[in-house]
């Protein structure tokens, strides 16, 4: 690792890395590029001095249960605890990593062992100091199989229970199961369960209030209605927050959220649907914050059940989709066509994957031929999805696309909290064909971990490919940028060929605010960072 900064610099000077990629890779590795004369991320500069005071109102979907970071599984929960809880590091708008409760990190001596230096002088909301014991306890709680944290989807095969060590009053060491170059993203806001909690935290107690180190202190939580916060006057971030208070308002449906914003009842709509959100997106009275993303919806097909045990049947479904038309109808063009693999253009190391694999297009003759080769005379299956954003519309569109090929899809739409469920009742993981909304992760490796490796906790397709697993381990351990590109290409080829899930599009994320909101980050869209947000009159 000691020469990694030089390697990145060489790649940048040769033109094989652009500035955005250089900064992102350097921030993940904890490498300072100041010695090479490279400045940090180009953030937007405030044109006016932030105004202090006021109460901000933010919209969120109903949490499926009382918000709890350890077991969180939906945006409503995340938006409730993120104003109060913080992470070791947090993604900036360009997805470089900003030091938060950790001031620095490094792989020592290689990417199988990572050391994080914890910020000193940070106070919990009750006035007690943040310690390295709190950090160790947080991750051991997440990794303890008896706890049942949803973070198992993040750390499975990467970090195991008992392998987080207190080195000193300032340093914590993570002993990984295997080398993982992108590990800092797994302890950032992109791993939303990894918010730091007190060492003596009692599960289920967050909504009682007063727990966290963040800029806002939770004072009241009313299920299905709202959560109220006041500013943390002892916040470690100099001069922040600027707001006096925050109110998170919960809505059962996107249509109700749209009406509430039109009525002036909310200030920030963090994730605006492109289908159904037109009254907001086309209203000049609101500010629309847009950015490319790696958000997507996967259509999974159970490879261990008929009719999808034969990959030719899965390929046939994929060949029925008119992706360009889908992007236009669902998003008015504000999305990018995808090619049934995880390697979104916004990630680093994905150029070859997106240039050398032919784009899959609608081809009914190909679809019919594949079904015939598989010995399948028509398909009749139920696609189950949740009532969230454009998911139901996508399911209906897929049904119509598949009809001409003799593939009959029945659409079953469930309330989103029931669809994902919890514990032993999670329909999305057992239905023969389902749709999942996936938020962007920091790196492609982080996006793959929960869904594709053998035995992954959220492997809804029940897919297993030993060659893929080996190449993925090689990719995660490889530091050389060119070699990672080639490994990424091989991984993408396998996903595209096997089609355990269909990935038709990458969404251009859109957030909306009133004209009075300032300092609210454009991205990442599925997380909220309000410490520098302020309201003008």
Question: How far from 344 is each of 16, 296, 349, 387, 487, CA to CA, in Å?
Answer: 18, 10, 10, 25, 15
Domain boundaries, given as residue ranges, for the chain: 1-42, 292-508
Question: How far from 174 is each of 165, 201, 429, CA to CA, in Å?
Answer: 6, 21, 30
Task: Please indicate, yes or no, whether the overall pTM of this predicted structure exceeds 0.85.
Answer: yes
**pLDDT at 46 (0 to 100):** 52
Q: What is the dihedral of CA 291, 83, 272, 280, to 10 degrees?
A: -110
Instruction: Please answer whether residues 359 and 343 qualify as being in contact, where contact means their C-beta atoms are separated by less than 8 angstroms.
Output: no
Among 501, 496, 442, 526, smallest CA distance to 188 is for: 442
Among 189, 194, 184, smallest CA distance to 71 is for: 194
**pLDDT at 6 (0 to 100):** 87
Instruction: Please answer whether residues 121 and 266 qualify as being in contact, where contact means their C-beta atoms are separated by less than 8 angstroms.
Output: no
DSSP letter for 27, please. H
376/315 Cα distance (integer angstroms): 13
295/229 Cα distance (integer angstroms): 29
Instruction: Please answer whether residues 374 and 407 qualify as being in contact, where contact means their C-beta atoms are separated by less than 8 angstroms.
Output: no
Q: Give the start-end residues of each E strand in 2-131.
A: 55-61, 89-91, 97-99, 102-107, 113-118
Helices then strands, each counted (H, E), the chain: 16, 20
Q: Give the start-end residues of each E strand in 155-255.
A: 164-166, 171-175, 216-222, 226-231, 245-251
- 48 CB-near residues (< 8 Å, 6+ apart): 518, 536
How confident is the model over 33-67, as pLDDT tens digits?
A: 776 677 666 554 556 899 999 999 999 988 878 99
- Type and span of the H or E element at 335: strand 335-337
**pLDDT at 31 (0 to 100):** 87
- 294 CB-near residues (< 8 Å, 6+ apart): 344, 346, 347, 440, 441, 444, 447, 506
Instruction: Please answer whether residues 82 and 144 qualify as being in contact, where contact means their C-beta atoms are separated by less than 8 angstroms.
Output: no
pLDDT in tens, the chain (537 residues): 678 888 898 999 999 888 888 999 999 999 877 766 776 665 545 568 999 999 999 999 888 789 999 998 788 999 999 999 999 999 998 889 999 999 999 999 999 999 999 999 999 999 999 999 999 999 999 999 999 888 888 999 999 999 999 999 999 999 999 999 999 999 999 999 999 999 999 999 999 999 999 999 999 999 999 999 999 999 999 999 999 999 999 998 889 999 999 999 999 999 898 878 999 999 999 999 998 889 999 999 999 999 999 999 999 999 999 999 999 999 988 899 999 999 999 999 999 999 999 999 999 999 999 999 999 998 999 999 999 888 999 999 999 999 999 999 999 999 988 899 888 899 999 999 999 999 888 999 999 999 999 999 899 999 999 999 999 999 999 999 999 999 999 999 999 999 999 999 999 989 999 999 999 999 887 889 999 999 997
First and final C-alpha spacing in the chain: 50
| Backbone φ/ψ region at 522: left (φ over 0), alpha (ψ -120 to 50), beta | alpha
222/227 Cα distance (integer angstroms): 6
26/382 Cα distance (integer angstroms): 46
Residues paired with 438 in a beta bridge:
296
Radius of gyration (C-alpha) of the chain in whole angstroms: 23
Among 310, 340, 349, smallest CA distance to 494 is for: 340
**pLDDT at 537 (0 to 100):** 77
DSSP letter for 182, please. T
Residues paired with 296 in a beta bridge:
438
- 127 CB-near residues (< 8 Å, 6+ apart): 234
Question: How far from 14 is each of 11, 188, 373, 485, CA to CA, in Å?
Answer: 5, 30, 47, 15
Among 531, 507, 524, smallest CA distance to 297 is for: 507
367/315 Cα distance (integer angstroms): 7
Q: What is the dihedral of CA 432, 435, 436, 442, to 10 degrees?
A: 110
- 278 CB-near residues (< 8 Å, 6+ apart): none
Residue 32, classed as helix, strand or coil, is coil
What CATH fold (topology level) applies to the domain 292-508? Dipeptide-binding Protein; domain 3 (3.10.105)
Q: Which residues of 40-50 are buried (b: 16+ CB within 10 A; e: fewer)?
A: ebeeeeeeeeb
């Amino acid at each position: 690792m000691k020469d990694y900064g030089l390697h990145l610099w060489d790649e940048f000077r040769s033109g094989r890395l652009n500035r955005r990629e250089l900064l992102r890779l350097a921030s993940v590795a904890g490498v300072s590029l100041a010695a090479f004369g490279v400045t940090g991320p180009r953030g937007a500069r405030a044109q006016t001095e932030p105004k202090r005071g006021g109460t901000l109102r933010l919209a969120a979907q109903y949490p499926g249960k009382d918000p709890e970071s350890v077991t969180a599984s939906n945006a409503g929960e995340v938006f409730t605890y993120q104003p109060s809880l913080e992470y070791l590091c947090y993604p900036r708008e360009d997805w470089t990593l900003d030091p938060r409760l950790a001031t620095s990190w490094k792989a020592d001596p290689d990417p199988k062992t990572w050391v994080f230096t914890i910020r000193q002088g940070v106070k919990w909301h009750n006035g007690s100091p943040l310690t390295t014991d709190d950090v160790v306890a947080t991750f051991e709680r997440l990794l303890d199989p008896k706890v049942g944290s949803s973070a198992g989807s993040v750390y499975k095969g990467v970090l195991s229970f008992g392998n987080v060590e207190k080195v000193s009053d300032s340093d914590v060491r993570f002993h990984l199961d295997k080398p993982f170059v992108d590990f800092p993203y797994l302890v950032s806001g992109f791993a939303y369960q990894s918010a730091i909690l007190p060492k003596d935290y009692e599960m289920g107690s967050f909504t009682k209030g007063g727990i966290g180190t963040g800029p806002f202190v939770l004072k009241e939580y009313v299920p299905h209605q709202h959560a109220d916060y006041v500013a943390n006057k002892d916040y470690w971030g100099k001069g922040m927050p600027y707001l006096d208070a925050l109110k998170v308002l919960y809505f059962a449906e996107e249509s109700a959220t749209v009406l509430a914003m039109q009525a002036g009842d909310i200030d920030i709509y963090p994730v605006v649907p492109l289908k159904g959100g037109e009254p907001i997106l086309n209203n000049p009275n609101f500010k629309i914050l847009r950015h490319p993303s790696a958000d997507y919806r996967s259509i999974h097909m159970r490879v261990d059940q008929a009719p999808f045990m034969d990959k030719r049947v899965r390929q046939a479904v994929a060949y029925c989709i008119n992706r360009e038309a889908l992007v236009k109808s669902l998003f008015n063009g504000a999305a990018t066509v995808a090619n049934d693999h995880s390697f979104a253009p916004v990630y680093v190391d994905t150029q070859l994957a997106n240039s050398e694999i032919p784009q899959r297009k609608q081809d009914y003759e190909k679809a019919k031929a594949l079904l015939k080769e598989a010995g399948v005379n028509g398909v009749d299956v139920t696609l189950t999805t949740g009532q969230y954003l454009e998911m139901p519309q996508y399911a209906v569109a897929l049904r119509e696309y598949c009809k001409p090929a003799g593939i009959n899809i029945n659409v079953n739409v469930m309330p989103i909290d029931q669809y994902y469920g919890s514990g032993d009742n999670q329909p999305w993981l057992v239905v023969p064909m389902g749709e999942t909304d996936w938020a962007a992760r920091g790196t492609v490796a982080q996006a793959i971990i929960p869904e594709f490796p053998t035995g992954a906790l959220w492997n809804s397709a029940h897919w297993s490919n030993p060659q893929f697993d080996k190449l993925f381990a090689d990719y995660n351990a490889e530091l050389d940028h060119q070699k990672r590109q080639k490994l990424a290409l091989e991984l993408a080829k396998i996903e595209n060929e096997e089609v355990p899930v269909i990935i038709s599009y990458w969404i251009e994320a859109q957030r909306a605010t009133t004209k009075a909101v300032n300092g609210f980050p454009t991205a990442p869209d599925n997380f909220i960072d309000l410490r520098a947000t302020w309201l003008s009159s």
